[in-house]
Structure 1
Amino acid sequence: MINEDSTSKNQLARSMKSRHLFMISLGGVIGTGLFLSSGYTISEAGPGGAIAAYLIGGFMMYLIMLCLGELTVAMPVTGSFQVYATKYIGPATGFTIGIMYWLNWVVTVGSEFTASGLLMQRWFPNTSVWMWSCFFGLLIFLLNCLSVKIFAETEFWFSTIKVAAIILFIVMGGAAMFGFIPMEGRDTAPVFSNFMGQGGLFPNGFLPILMTMISVNFAFSGTELIGIAAGESENPERDVPKSIKNIIWRTMFFFVGAIFVLAGLVSWKQAGVIESPFVMVFDDIGVPYAADFMNFVILTALLSVANSGLYASTRMLWSLSSEKMISPKLGKITKKGVPFNALVLSMAVSCLSLLSSVFAPGTVYVVLVAVAGFAVVVVWFGICLSQFMFRKNFLKSGRNIRDLKFRTPLYPVVPIVASVMCLASCIGLAFDPSQRIALYCGIPFIFACYAFYYMKNRLQSREKTDDYMEKVN
């Protein structure tokens, strides 16, 4: 399967165009975090709390992207933030960041398959979730086995479908909210009744906003895919800044607009994760087959995220292998430019999280989101710190700040504020019993990554010393 001639250099091809880069990043964002987890956020934080949480999460994402933009334009490489952390913080931290990001996506990929299985039960209620999860898993694996160009084109059209669907939802949902479209079982339009009644904007207080931030961060995770894909972009210096500017305001519009409509139409007491709140809304609107259409669109969106996630996790393993931090076998590339061994390993671990489709999918799914959310916040923190150290070293070397094609504004305020927000999101996990397990698993995992790196280096150093002594003697 591996072409030794083409893999001797083990370099990925730069074949992605600007539209691919933007849509892959947008495709990585719009998935379960919006279509399914938003129900959990509304149920916990209430209508006003959910909107506030997504506004805060969007602002946090904006700061992270500003930091990543400066780094990526200056050094466009595949596996970007792992490489940046290695160079500007330390090799052990770079290794940990890379593994945490890989963990984020392999868990996310599994959760997308689980969510897809849950959605299929709308049409096939007597079938099992795991059966559909395995089917979709095989489909996405085969798509990732194709060339990078075909993957990028597939993801472009996946993302286009769901962007169009979100715009349609905001328009139709907004029309139903203000009475332009009738809703079944309601004599009057809801307008702002969900915001005013049933406990008001914050029925459970303000603490749930902090508690749900990890789920919200999970929803916004994927924007950083611009950094991963930049290494395979035709013109990263031109494409990355353009994609970052587009992804920020469009993501904010889609997320905040959709959450506003959802909170206005779905009571926080009815929201959850077993059924998408988007589908619930179209069920209530009563347009023939509208709910089924939305279910199909959401299914497409979830598979799109799984597609992007498997791509991202595979490239991160390739990057770690290129840095000689893990086995060189994971850096092997096929004739079509795909790191096949890294792809197989990522898919295999993703299948472990498919266990959630067998054991209590509704509750285990929330745990998977928490684990993935914690991992991505750790990576975001690493991006902020890397940018802080990069700019510090850049100025210390006496170079002119104008030499940077893309500059993070208000340095060092932006990376510091973003870092504090990342820490606050992690603290919020401690207050939510259903997500607290992410801390119990995530923190020991971080220590294990550092321990593994230092033990591996120590063993390699000892082997080099022994080889040297043998040659001398």
Structure 2
Amino acid sequence: MAQENNGGVKRELKTRHLSMIALGGSIGTGLFVASGSAISTAGPGGALVAYIGIGLMVYFLMTSLGEMATYIPVSGSFATYAGRFVDPALGFAMGWNYWFNWAITLAVDVSTTGIVMHFWLPHVPGWIFSAFFLAVIFVINALSVRTFGETEYWLSIIKVVTVIVFLIVGFLTIFGIMGGNGPAIGLKNFSIGKAPFVGGIPSILSVFVVAGFSFQGTELIGITAGESETPETSIPKAIKQVFWRILLFYILAIFVIAAILPYTSKDLLGSSASDVAISPFTLVFQRVGLASAASVINAVILTSVISAANSGMYASTRMLWAMSKQHIAPKAFGRVNSHGVPIPALLLTTVVGLFTFMTGIWGPRIYMFLVSASGLTGFIAWLGIAISHYRFRKAFIAQGHSLGELKYHAKLFPFGPILAMVLGVLVIVGQDLNAVKTLDWQALGISYMSVPLFIILYGYYKIRHKTHVIPLEKVDLSKIRDD
């Protein structure tokens, strides 16, 4: 029977839900499509270095979040942790920043469903599909957290199976078992032209940004902590499983694509979320004679987009609910229905999702604006998680606690959070290095608009409430769930 905390949300998410939510949240168009442009930009070696680097960063972030979430499992976790372990102003800024990120991402993803469906039904207006999928996602989230968990589980299964099939086909092609009667491809594409590293450090840094976007969503495991049946055991287990799956899926997939398709391929240069015909996955499947490859991969990408929108609806709703319980959002958003679902928070998030229909009125410019608006907010959240964990562990020791009290220990402290902080700053600064060099103010404004938004939120709360960084001895380490 589902348990219920004193805030009203129910603990119905199981370990398999948590694993697939975090895994599915990070396997999407970033892997199915954008991976091609990463290889064309930095070459096979550069792309692998970038994805391995971000993979390690994400692992340390997950273990940091896991240590805090098993000790104090709350919905909207990292905003709560930032407010309790660092500065209330940081918690306020992170919470609203993250809600804004996922609410806008919901609008972007729902808009993208119309673009994807255009592949099959080019004469039907995209807004019709967007309205349909937004309604479906609203219903899924309105029913119960278990419904959300089950939906994400099965949507993620589809993506995982696709990647596994792709890897099998890819390696058979590399070794010459599939893909025609010619000689095995082997690793010759790793040494053609300027490969394996193309463009040096600047190119690798630019791919770090692409890789970072691909991995975003893994932090959802922290959001779900407050609704997990057994967070002390399920979260560590989910983190361990997700790390190996992400590392294997992403690194092996990049390796296969780079081995089969040379980085000089014009198809890779043209990869974009709206052109499934030149997805690296499509090209590899077509190489082995799967005539319907584009249609199959388009269906998988549609699944990915719906999954991302579903996760976005859940994450933003729970973050807004959690902020209400902390009194940094209106009290009304803290209300839940009989199934433990915060309906007012869900409704506001859905209203933001309706921005998707502006793309039908003002065209693709509003779509790109929405994408840019949500741009760096995920990376800012990652940076906040690393800072919060560093302060949590320092305060834990400063107040006389023993590490033996922790159900789960983050790996390689303090190296892990420090590395995550350094890489987080690098990714944020490297969002658009060309605009920084040339001082292109319009490009800078679009690429970095999330940064001033965060600073404004932080400054507003700090000035109004006159907050300060909390001394380690006064950090609140009480083991409570949501208020």
Task: Say whether the fold is shared (TM-score over 0.5).
Answer: yes
CA distance in 1, matches of 2:131, 2:186: 41
Aligned to 1:158: 155
Aligned to 1:123: 120
Q: 1:366 to 1:29 in 2, by over 3 A?
A: farther
CA distance in 2, matches of 1:120, 1:437: 31
Amino acid at match of 2:186: V
Aligned to 1:397: 399
CA distance in 1, matches of 2:41, 2:444: 15
Q: State the shift of 1:189 in Å.
A: 4.8
Matched ranges for 1:168-317 at <5 A: 168-182=165-179, 189-268=184-263, 269-271=266-268, 272-273=271-272, 274-275=274-275, 276-317=279-320
In the superposition, the TM-score normalised over structure 2's length comes to 0.86
Amino acid at match of 2:448: Y
Aligned to 1:379: 381
Amino acid at match of 1:179: G
Aligned partner of 2:355 among 349, 352, 355: 352
Amino acid at match of 1:385: I
Query: Given that residues 10 and 339 in structure 2 are in contact (C-alpha distance below 8 angstroms), is that contact kept between their aligned partners in structure 1?
Result: no
Q: 1:406 to 1:71 in 2, by over 3 A?
A: same
Query: Given that residues 158 and 300 in structure 2 are in contact (C-alpha distance below 8 angstroms), is that contact kept between their aligned partners in structure 1?
Result: yes
For residues 106-134 of structure 1, the C-alpha deviation after alignment (integer angstroms, 9 at most, x for no partner) is: 23323333433333232223444444333
Aligned to 2:92: 95
For residues 120-177 of structure 1, the C-alpha deviation after alignment (integer angstroms, 9 at most, x for no partner) is: 2322234444443333222212211111111111111111121111101111122223
Amino acid at match of 2:425: L
Q: 1:209 to 1:134 in 2, by over 3 A?
A: farther
SS in 2 for 1:255: helix
Unaligned runs of 5+ in 2: 436-441, 467-483
Amino acid at match of 2:379: V
Aligned partner of 2:76 among 68, 76, 79: 79
Matched positions, count: 449
Query: Given that residues 218 and 369 in structure 1 are in contact (C-alpha distance below 8 angstroms), is that contact kept between their aligned partners in structure 2?
Result: no
Query: Given that residues 279 and 291 in structure 1 are in contact (C-alpha distance below 8 angstroms), is that contact kept between their aligned partners in structure 2?
Result: yes
Query: Given that residues 67 and 415 in structure 1 are in contact (C-alpha distance below 8 angstroms), is that contact kept between their aligned partners in structure 2?
Result: yes
CA distance in 2, matches of 1:432, 1:103: 27
Aligned to 2:452: 444
Q: 1:262 to 1:131 in 2, by over 3 A?
A: farther
Aligned to 1:11: 8
Amino acid at match of 1:192: L
Query: Given that residues 29 and 222 in structure 1 are in contact (C-alpha distance below 8 angstroms), is that contact kept between their aligned partners in structure 2?
Result: yes
In the superposition, the TM-score normalised over structure 1's length comes to 0.87
Query: Given that residues 331 and 339 in structure 1 are in contact (C-alpha distance below 8 angstroms), is that contact kept between their aligned partners in structure 2?
Result: yes
Q: State the shift of 1:449 in Å.
A: 0.8
Aligned to 2:337: 334
CA distance in 2, matches of 1:410, 1:83: 24
Q: State the shift of 1:196 in Å.
A: 2.3
CA distance in 2, matches of 1:438, 1:60: 26
Q: State the shift of 1:357 in Å.
A: 7.3
Q: 1:40 to 1:106 in 2, by over 3 A?
A: farther
CA distance in 2, matches of 1:78, 1:370: 27
CA distance in 1, matches of 2:60, 2:446: 24
CA distance in 1, matches of 2:408, 2:204: 33
CA distance in 2, matches of 1:77, 1:368: 29
Q: State the shift of 1:432 in Å.
A: 4.4
Query: Given that residues 176 and 182 in structure 2 are in contact (C-alpha distance below 8 angstroms), is that contact kept between their aligned partners in structure 1?
Result: no
Amino acid at match of 2:280: P
Amino acid at match of 2:148: F
Moved more, 250-259 or 436-445: 436-445
Amino acid at match of 1:50: A
Amino acid at match of 1:407: H
Aligned to 1:466: none
Amino acid at match of 1:440: Y
Moved more, 221-230 or 370-379: 370-379
CA distance in 2, matches of 1:366, 1:421: 26
CA distance in 1, matches of 2:152, 2:36: 25
Query: Given that residues 174 and 185 in structure 2 are in contact (C-alpha distance below 8 angstroms), is that contact kept between their aligned partners in structure 1?
Result: yes
Amino acid at match of 1:393: A
Q: State the shift of 1:289 in Å.
A: 2.8
Query: Given that residues 110 and 350 in structure 1 are in contact (C-alpha distance below 8 angstroms), is that contact kept between their aligned partners in structure 2?
Result: yes
Percent of aligned positions that are identical: 40
Aligned to 1:467: none
Moved more, 97-106 or 418-427: 97-106
Q: 1:96 to 1:312 in 2, by over 3 A?
A: same
CA distance in 2, matches of 1:317, 1:229: 13
CA distance in 2, matches of 1:45, 1:359: 35
Aligned partner of 2:39 among 39, 42, 57: 42
